[in-house]
């Protein structure tokens, strides 16, 4: 089944930026497309901002948030005034202000099992019948043998969770290579392999209107990967440095395209997601990945080098 076929059967879709930080911005093109198809859309993201925004390592628990409407354990709705108890706002807070609507926040501290259950409860309470996870950059498509992967924890938990949901689910990737984790050669290899396995559901390019909204949110946040999508929409391409010059990105017009995949087949492809599929806490998932040689975003936030 294609992305369009899944979408035309949906009444209400939840779009979640699966990597935290600015990934919610990458949801805009898909959200606007689904709206044009007559699907009611709710945007969402993780309670995890990067260290340059939130000095406290890891994702915030729901009880660490202020000015929210709690939906269920692990899930809340954010508004423009939503922040941590110590004053840090979220990218979702900015998105809520720009869009004029509440934006969902998902706490992944429960590991893959707890996150899937939180999503299941939210789906039921909010009347969701389609979930789209959006990754900006493409590191979610890592096979597991790539040396540049530096943020596998959130993506792995979310891919494992998306694969378990009781409603139609899709994984979308926008900003082709804009996070600087997979090389373009690795990303091309993995995308081609997923296409050959039948995991590819379609693709759609961002419109001028999509990019204008993305830029309004990106300008008020610290995101880099999502901002590069906007730059690609202005005709920029070539080599860029991000994360305080610790990562190299080669930006191409492909960054403007969202590629859609089956989460279940991406899960079968991803050694990372498989390793942490049965975890009941973020810490458990983090320990497993570190023990298998993966450096995680939590490792960097707790004092490891790079990954700012």
Instruction: Of 12, 39, 36, 16, give the one whose Cα is nearest residue 26.
Output: 16
Supply 3's token pair. 């992305």
Residues 6+ apart with CB under 8 A from 124: none
Residues 6+ apart with CB under 8 A from 206: 28, 29, 174, 214, 229, 233, 256, 257, 258
Say what the pTM is. 0.95
Domain chopping of the chain, boundaries: 3-301
Quickly count: other Cβ atoms within 10 Å of residue 244's Cβ.
11
Residue 307 confidence (pLDDT): 39
State the virtual CA torsion across 250, 252, 254, 258 in degrees, nearest 10: 60
237/81 Cα distance (integer angstroms): 36
Residue showing tokens 């700012």:
308
| Region 3-301: CATH code | 3.40.50
DSSP 8-state code for residue 24? G
Question: From first to last of its 308 residues, what are the pLDDT tens digits of the chain?
Answer: 899 999 999 999 999 999 999 999 999 999 999 999 999 999 999 999 988 899 999 999 999 999 999 999 999 999 999 999 999 999 999 999 999 999 999 999 999 999 999 999 999 999 999 999 999 999 999 999 998 898 999 999 999 999 999 999 999 999 999 988 899 999 999 999 999 999 999 999 999 999 999 999 999 887 888 999 999 999 999 988 877 767 788 899 999 999 999 999 999 999 999 999 999 999 999 999 999 999 999 999 998 754 33
Cβ(157)–Cβ(115) below 8 Å: yes
Residue 308 confidence (pLDDT): 35
Q: Which helix (H) or strand (E) holds 249?
A: strand 247-251
* Helix, strand, coil percentages for the chain (3-state, nearest 5): 40, 25, 35
Residues 6+ apart with CB under 8 A from 90: 45, 47, 49, 78, 82, 83, 105
Cβ(223)–Cβ(95) below 8 Å: no
């Amino acid at each position: 089944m294609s992305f369009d076929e899944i979408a035309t059967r949906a009444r209400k879709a939840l779009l979640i930026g699966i990597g935290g930080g600015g990934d919610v911005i990458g949801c805009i093109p898909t959200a606007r497309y689904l709206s044009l198809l007559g699907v009611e859309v709710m945007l969402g993201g993780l309670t995890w901002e990067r260290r340059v925004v939130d000095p406290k390592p890891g994702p915030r628990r729901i009880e660490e948030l202020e000015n929210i409407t709690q939906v269920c354990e692990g899930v809340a709705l954010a508004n423009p005034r939503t922040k941590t108890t110590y004053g840090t706002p979220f990218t979702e807070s900015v998105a809520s202000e720009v869009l004029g609507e509440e934006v969902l926040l998902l706490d992944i501290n429960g590991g893959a099992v707890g996150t899937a259950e939180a999503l299941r409860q939210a789906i039921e309470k909010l009347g969701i019948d389609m979930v789209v996870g959006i990754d900006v950059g493409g590191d979610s498509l890592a096979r597991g043998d790539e040396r540049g992967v530096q943020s596998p924890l959130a993506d792995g938990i979310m891919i494992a969770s998306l694969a378990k949901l009781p409603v139609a689910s899709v994984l979308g990737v926008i900003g082709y290579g804009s996070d600087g984790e997979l090389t373009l050669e690795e990303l091309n290899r993995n995308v081609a392999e997923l296409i050959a396995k039948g995991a590819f559901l379609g693709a759609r390019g961002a419109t001028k209107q999509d990019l204008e909204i993305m830029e309004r949110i990106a300008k008020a946040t610290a995101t880099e990967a999502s901002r590069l999508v906007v730059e690609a929409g202005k005709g920029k391409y070539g080599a860029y440095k991000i994360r305080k010059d610790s990562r190299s990105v080669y930006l191409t017009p492909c960054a403007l395209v969202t590629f859609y995949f089956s989460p279940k087949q991406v899960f079968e492809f991803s050694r990372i997601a498989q390793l942490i599929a049965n975890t009941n806490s973020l810490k458990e998932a983090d320990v497993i990945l570190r023990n298998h040689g993966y450096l995680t975003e939590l490792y960097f936030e707790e004092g490891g080098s790079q990954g700012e």
